[in-house]
Amino acid sequence: MTEVEFTVTAGVTERLDRFLADQLQLSRTQAARLVAAKAVQVNGAVARASRVLARGDAVTVSLPESEPPRTIQPAAIPLTLVYEDDSLAVIDKPAGLVVHPAPGHWQDTLVNALVSRGTTLSGGAAGRPGIVHRLDRDTSGLMVVAKTDLAHRRLGAALAARRITRHYAGLAWGHLNRSPTTIDAPLARNPKDRKRMAVLATGRPARTDAYVVARFTVAELLRLELFSGRTHQVRVHLAHIGHPLVGDPVYGAGGSKRISGAARAQAEAVERAASRQALHAAYLAFRHPETGRALEFFSDWPADLREVLVRAAGSSIPVADSETLRYLRFFKGHG
């Protein structure tokens, strides 16, 4: 057995099973099974899945040792491909889908889905064939995967040289002082919680530029440009400057409780509508690694986050209203 320890640092209460799912990248069902097997303790005592955690609680999980399968197993998971040729494919990843096999997700990932549909993938790192860059499990949007080793090498080099343009759409609490706002802060693993990232002087360089697209009473719709590709970069950077993403269970820093006065009720309605962090990889542009042709892709604000954006814009604005639709498709014109 492998023992993993976490300390609850979030300022809002959360059920044990959801906390485990977020920390270990498991489904709620898988997390509940660990609890039912009495493999989870809170402050030294076995706890129920419904246990509500508080700041400072110590959570200990005993994980069974597991070995990755020798081959990647196919899984019939629906995928949306927006482009494909003999060298690469561009996928609009849904929220909730892990990108590549890892403990707890050996057979239910994007890679398993690609194998199932017969997609040829480049060699890549062990267990990560074709994966040039990743998205968090609960972040949706555009990704490019390589189908040949040549395409993978060239796309990897283009990513390192910042020749692949990636823009995210994000809904963040509060209002930025200026647009654009540049967040240039190094990132590293949080020394107190290895599942989280933090701004640390000893971290790797990371830069995010945030542009305000639409300003609402309690939040702003942002266009976020990445100049590096660190784990959880957008989420940590926005939290670092005091404007975390709406619906972020890890870096949300209190969520609607950050809003006071008459706007609190609207903030709470926005938070209730957020099924996950309000972050979507909306724009991807690069040159084809083998032909040199310029490629550009857009992805509209996802359906599962539509309600949270409408709530932020104001409940009096109907979904079909032209202004709301402009917000939903803002990245068509780069903001």
Provide the 3-class DSSP secondary structure of residue 63.
strand
How many CB atoms sit inside 10 A of residue 154's CB?
22
How many CB atoms sit inside 10 A of residue 60's CB?
15
Structural tokens at position 256: 């609607």
- Report the C-alpha gap between 323 and 221 in whole angstroms: 13
- Report the C-alpha gap between 100 and 112 in whole angstroms: 8
Question: What are 41's strand-pairing partners?
Answer: 46, 60
- Report the C-alpha gap between 257 and 303 in whole angstroms: 26
Would residue 30 be called left, alpha or beta, if left means φ above 0 and alpha means ψ between -120 and 50 degrees? Answer: alpha
β-bridge pairing 193-199 and 58-63: unpaired
Provide the 3-class DSSP secondary structure of residue 70.
coil
The amino acid present at 117, given as its one-letter code, is R
Say whether 22 is catalytic: no
How many CB atoms sit inside 10 A of residue 59's CB?
20
Burial level of 264, CB count in 10 A (0-12/13-18/19+)? middle
Q: Which of 136, 138, 209, 248 is catalytic?
A: 136
Sign of CA dihedral 108, 111, 115, 117: positive
Provide the 3-class DSSP secondary structure of residue 220.
strand
Residues annotated catalytic, as ranges = 136
